[in-house]
Structure 1
């Protein structure tokens, strides 16, 4: 009889599963990746995978939630190192430029998920909208701290840069959006 699974083993297996699924979904697309590929990449049996997530849709939502927490946390850590409020807003675009230059960058995981599943999966659509609302709230807080009321415009510049860089494969949209944001903020 196999040994009972500990909470720590379950936590590690779940993390391994999410890591493998995120890499596959981001690299290949959600619909192109079958659960057998997730099983192979994670090294976990399908029964264990479905014990964590009863459906692929549940797994996709968990992947997006995990990615959101990490992505926005990394952005916050970068931006909040900067003291000047205007420079803090511009640091958003510096962070985006670094992200766009990473090997394997394929654009926004939430836009990609929406493009594949948004119209057919309410759960995925809700997660995409949740991420975009949270990102917008971050940007708004940083912009509002400058005293210049251009949060909507700066948010659209950031979103546009992400989508454009994802499609073009070129990190330059971050620089262009940064310059436009600096103009809006009246930054030197």
Structure 2
């Protein structure tokens, strides 16, 4: 009779598998990486992998879900160091710039996943939509504290910077988006022809 695997070992195996999947799938693309390559990177038998995730699609969803939690938590930790509401919004773009400058930056993992499989995998499309909605709401909460009418514009600037940096490999798009967000925060709520008192 095979030895029982403890909950602790199962969690260690799951994290090792997700680590391996994230490194490989983000660097090379989902369709370019086979399960054998993930198995070798994780150091787990295929049987063990499929006991944790029944399919590659489930593994991708699990990887994206874990990355979302970490990614948005890192963003929040950085942004919320600022005490001034306007500086918090601008800190979003400072954090994005730091991310874009990291070695191995390859754009947005969720946009990449959607581009590869969003049309053919409802589970992946749903996970991507959940991340994008959560990111929108996160930005909207920070913007609402300074100028609610700028929420959509600032969100689009952040998303645009992420996509542009992924395509052009130019991290400074975050700084240009920051300047645009600063102007938007100053102008929003002041219709043309009206001036501040």
**Shorter-chain TM-score above 0.5:** yes
1:23 aligns with 2:27: no
SS in 2 for 1:105: coil
State the partner residue of 2:109. 109
Q: Render the CA deviation track for 1:103-154: whole Å, top value 9, x for unaligned.
A: 0000000000000000000000000000000000000000000034111000
Q: Which residue in the other structure is 1:138 paired with?
A: 138
Q: What is the match of residue 66 of structure 1?
A: 66
Distance 2:2 2:167 in 1: 48
Question: TM-score if structure 1 supplies the norm length?
Answer: 0.97
What's the Cα RMSD here?
Answer: 1.0
Determine which structure has more spread, i.e. the larger CA radius of gyration: 2
Q: Matched residues in 2 for 1:171 and 1:56: separation?
A: 31
3-state SS of 2:105 partner: coil
CA contact (8 A) 1:86 1:146 kept: yes
Q: Secondary structure at the match of 1:141?
A: helix
Which residue of structure 2 lines up, in the alignment, with residue 96 of structure 1?
A: 96
Task: Specify the alignment match of 1:152 in structure 2.
Answer: 152
When the two structures are aligned, how many residues end up with a matched partner?
A: 187
Residues 168-187 of structure 1 aligned to structure 2 (within 5 Å): 168-186=168-186
Q: What is the deviation of 1:63?
A: 0.4
- In 2: Cα distance, 1:117 partner to 1:97 partner: 27
Three-state SS of the structure 2 residue aligned to 1:131 is helix
Q: Secondary structure at the match of 1:146?
A: coil
Q: CA deviation at 1:22?
A: 0.6
Runs of 4+ in 1 over 3 A off after TM superposition: none
TM-score (ref. length: structure 2): 0.93
| Aligned partners of 1:21 and 1:63 also within 8 Å | yes
